[in-house]
Structure 1
Amino acid sequence: MSRHRRPFSLLAALTALAVPAAAGCSPGGSGARVDPPSAPPAAVAGLCAALHKELPGTVASLDRTPALPESDLTAAWGGSAIVLRCGIPRPAKMLDEKQDGVEVNGVGWLLEKLDDGGFRFTTGMRLAYTEVRVDKEHATDAGMLVGLSAAIAKTVPEGISSY
């Protein structure tokens, strides 16, 4: 991921990428199926548990939805419209300097358009990697990463995770 600092322009970045809809249930369901990452190291799991407690109740005007199975490593808003997984292994694309990224409230995010039509944001330069998948309708909300970034900045220290 490029280490260039870019001004926050999530709306412009997403519009330019023509973000397609994420696969999954429509917003507002009774719960969202979110597979937790497989056995992150205890230190990473501890950071994710702290993050879980600080996550906002609302993201992009969507209320928090139960993530199933229940885990401190996952969260969802608006059914599966916005889904978070903390404690994932470092994505291979994180090392590609040609990948695009933005910085929101001091948290760097790798931006990926997925083959299945979804869109994923992954934190970089933090001791635990966190990914957020967003559907098309909510990906263009420029404030969507603001509350999530604030919670991550508060609970997941800067650094390079060895996981």
Structure 2
Amino acid sequence: MPKLFLAALGLIMLAGCSPGPTPVAVPSPAPDVAAACAQLVKALPEKVLDAKRRKTEPASPLTTAYGDPPIEVTCGVSPPAGMAEAQSQCFEVNGVGWFAKEVTNGWVFTTIGRALYFEVAVPSKYKPEANALTDVSDVVHKYNKLVTPCI
């Protein structure tokens, strides 16, 4: 009986070590945008900043996450407030333009000048947070058509 108890306790402890699904808000883009985003998200790498890919809640082809605390990835979002302002800045990572917005616990990066608005929310644990963009930019470049170059 004690061996069975210890085995069950070990399984419970292991289950507590792996994070469950990450709650991520799911956008409601037009059907053509949702279809293009699903391809992009599916093509993303298995790791970002050495953090493994994990499921999101609710499950959606428009979202994914990496690591703990989670790096949240969402495609088909609305343009963030401040992006259209004259003083907003665009910086490039591997040929993809990004708008950066500092938030309470890190940064949110959104593509600029692409057909789809693709967002990567990176907690401050992963400083420098912009390094996460190097892991996703090649896929964004391939699956998210350039409309206007970063200026």
Task: Mark yes or no: TM-score above 0.5.
Answer: yes
Aligned to 2:119: 131
Contact 1:81 1:138 in 2 (8 A): no
1:1-163 residue pairs with structure 2 within 5 A?
A: 29-37=19-27, 39-114=28-103, 116-140=104-128, 143-159=131-147
Query: What stretches of structure 2 of length at least 5 have no aligned partner?
Result: 1-17
Summarize deviations over 1:63-109 as a string: whole Å, max 9, x none: 00111111111010014420011001122311112123320111100
Query: What stretches of structure 1 of length at least 5 have no aligned partner?
Result: 1-27
What is the alpha-carbon distance in structure 1 between the residues aligned to residue 66 and residue 48 of structure 2?
7
Identity %: 34
Aligned to 1:20: none
Paired residue secondary structure (2:82): helix
Contact 2:110 2:119 in 1 (8 A): yes
Rg larger in structure: 2
Relative contact order, CA 8 A, sep 6+: which one is greater? 1
Summarize deviations over 1:17-70 as a string: whole Å, max 9, x none: xxxxxxxxxxx6222111111x20111111101101210100001000111111
Instruction: Point out the structure with the larger helix share.
Output: 2
- Structure 1 segments of 4+ aligned residues over 4 angstroms from their partners: none
Q: What's the TM-score, normalizing by structure 1? A: 0.74
What is the alpha-carbon distance in structure 2 between the residues aligned to residue 42 and residue 149 of structure 1?
23
Contact 1:122 1:129 in 2 (8 A): yes
Q: What's the TM-score, normalizing by structure 2? A: 0.79
Q: How many residues align?
A: 132
